[in-house]
Structure 1
Amino acid sequence: MKRYWLEMTSPEHAVLPKNTVAVLPVGATEQHGPHLPVGTDCLINNGIVAAALERLGDDIPAVVLPLQPVGASQEHLDYAGSLAHPAPDLMQSWTRVLDCAVRSTGLNRILIFNSHGGQSGLLAAVALDQRVRHNVLGAYATWFDAGYPDGLFTEDEIRTGFHGGDIETSLMLALHPELVVTKNLGDFPSSVDEIEARTGQLSANPGGGRVGGLGWKAQDLNSDGVTGNASRATADKGRALLEYTAQSLATLITDLSNAPMPSDNWPPERYRA
């Protein structure tokens, strides 16, 4: 069963079941400190998607659209190698790809699968737009919202080591160890704790009782542009996290394929003239 859009012929696209889930992977190309490649978010996305497809049953139709490699990474543009779209342009680009996918195949289920935290807030609006304009079941997900296996990473790392730390470096050691510059692994402490110690409601990551968020640039948190203790990273932890996250994505795709479509019977009788 072919699972990748780019590997299929046009006639094969034309006969996809309507409940096929069209997965749009969206990543980023941005600096990840002195030890990880700028394509880290894209490589992690590819790895999770591939592992999830291996866990899908043959009865679950799903096809993966081409990865969108440049994201909303303005916070990293002071570092060499980083690329970015302005958020409105990026949302329009995703929308155009999804428009074409839906119109050319008649599919009615889409999933935007994201691997860059800086654009998580853009996903819901694009998915809703697809729902409104095409009457599809529009869904979105960011990989780390699935959480982490118990005891794999420290609470501090999960809270502040969200860019190039133990978590992402472990995944890269599992997926692409040849691209990790191990001599540059280190601890890259975040200024999040310092910011929160000096304020009452301000944080780089609002929530958990903190209502105010900052529009920060990467160097505001650490001069190397990354946060977290990458020296703790291991391939074993990366493989455990990959298994956990891939299963979550496979379950989500299955849920979407099996979910009933929203009713077209609108408006209800009592609202009709």
Structure 2
Amino acid sequence: MATSRFWYELTSDEAAALPDNCVAVLPVAAIEQHGTHLPLGTDTFINRGILERTRGMLCETVPVVILPEQTVGASQEHSDYAGSLYHPAHKLMGQWTRVLEGAVRSGLKRLLVFNSHGGQTGLLAPVCLDLRVRYDVVAAYATWFDAGYPDGLFDEVEMCYAMHGGAVETSLMLHLRPDLVRMGKAVRAPYGAASIESATQQLSANPKEGRLGGLGWKSQDISMHGVDGDAASATAEKGRLLLDHIASRLADLLRDLAGGGLPLVKHPHPAFSPAER
């Protein structure tokens, strides 16, 4: 079998013959505003670009099949801006689950939900846990920005507070789809998430490092520009370096999931089948 293939390229017989250690990857993204300089499909293009680069890093011993990408995500926070599309969170989780169940019915036991939209990170773990409990499969999840950043590529404030459409996403898009980036409209938007933290003791748009309270925020609560961060400082070279960094981490994750040492099903109570629980 080739290192990685797309689900929609397979015949039914080929889907049934995928090896036991094949990892089924479900790309989940978003269609939403990214200011005036980036396209609505920014999260989708980034997800697609990372997976394509990762495919080139895998050897024949890491079988991967990529399920149909889910382009519309949980983007309700951007719904006041033209062009943004979204599914309600509970329906989106059900949609992801139905697709992954199809892979499980075809015999696959190793799943990865690969996410590129910050607004739906909280939905990933419940979906994977549900599949683990009901089908005794290995179900993992990953969001690309949890891979971190190469040293010195972006400044600390940008990495910490640029939540949407700033230098990071713009650099990735300048590398992946420069034809869709309007750099003449890129802005240096204030860090709205930082402003919330400077005005409060425990509230944050993205709680971490001791901040206790999170907010259910809309995009305009963070920035009226629809962008949070210094998009004007983005470059295609930064995007290339970041893409290689993320793809190498994702390749390692797929090796973990396809590896023979990964523990699979253990039944603490063998008398009960998954259907009886």
Query: So what's the TM-score if we normalise by structure 1?
Result: 0.96
When the two chains are superposed, the root-mean-square deviation of aligned CA atoms in Å is: 1.2
The whole-number CA distance in structure 2 between the counterparts of 1:33 and 1:190 is: 14
After superposition, the C-alpha distances for 1:182-236 in whole angstroms (9 at most, x for unaligned) are 1101201122222112211011111111110111100111101110100000000
Shift of 1:268: 8.1
Question: Residue 80 of structure 2 is aligned with which of 78, 81, 87?
Answer: 78
Q: Which residue of 2 aligns with 1:205?
A: 206
How big is each residue's C-alpha offset from its partner over 1:65-90, in whole Å with a ceiling of 9 and x where there is no partner? 01000000000000000000110000
Whole-angstrom CA distance in 1 between matches of 2:149 and 2:266: 38
Q: Deviations over 1:122-172 (max 9, x none)?
A: 000001111111110010000000100001001100111121000000000
SS of corresponding position for 2:48: helix
Question: How far does residue 61 in structure 1 lie from its aligned partner after superposition?
Answer: 0.7
1:107 is matched by which residue type in structure 2? L
Distance 2:143 2:168 in 1: 15
Distance in 1 (CA, whole Å) between partners of 2:62 and 2:223 is 43
Query: Alignment partner of 1:99: what SS?
Result: helix
Is 1:119 equivalent to 2:155 in the alignment? Answer: no
Q: Which residue of 2 aligns with 1:48?
A: 50
Q: Percent identity?
A: 57
Hey, what does 2:131 align to over in structure 1?
A: 130
Q: Structure 2 matches for 1:20-99, cutoff 5 A?
A: 20-99=22-101
Alpha-carbon distance between aligned partners in 1 of 2:87 and 2:263, rounded to the nearest angstrom? 33
Aligned to 2:268: 266
Structure 2 counterpart SS, 1:125: helix
Q: Secondary structure at the match of 2:26?
A: strand
Is 2:154 the counterpart of 1:142?
A: no
Q: Name the structure 2 match of 1:189.
A: 190
Q: Distance in 2 between matches of 1:102 and 1:267?
A: 22
Aligned-partner SS, 2:132: helix
For 2:207, the aligned partner's letter is P
Counterpart contact for 2:136–2:265, Cα < 8 Å: no
Give the number of equivalent residue pairs. Answer: 268
Give distance in 2, aligned partners of 1:194 and 1:80.
Answer: 26
Aligned to 2:13: 11
Match of 1:160?
Answer: 161
Q: Which one of the candidate residues 104, 124, 146 is aligned to 1:102? A: 104
